[in-house]
Amino acid sequence: MSNILESKNPMKSLLNQGEVLILARRFFGKMLNILMFQF
C-alpha cells in the first residue's frame, strides 16, 4: 500500500503545479487586460 501511495503523490504534486501555473496565467492575463484598459 505504501508503494502505491508514494507513486501517486508525485503525480498529484505535478498536477497541482500545473493548476497553479494555469491560475497564474489567468490572473496575470486579467491584470494585463485591466492595465491596458486603464491606459
Q: What is the DSSP string of 1-39?
A: -HHHHHHHHHHHHHHHHHHHHHHHHHHHHHHHHHHHHH-
pTM for this prediction = 0.50
User: In the structure grid, which three cell numbers stand for residue 10, read together?
Assistant: 508525485
- Which residue type, as a one-letter code, is found at position 3? N
pLDDT digits (tens, 9 = 90+) for 1-39: 455 555 566 667 777 788 888 999 999 999 999 988 876
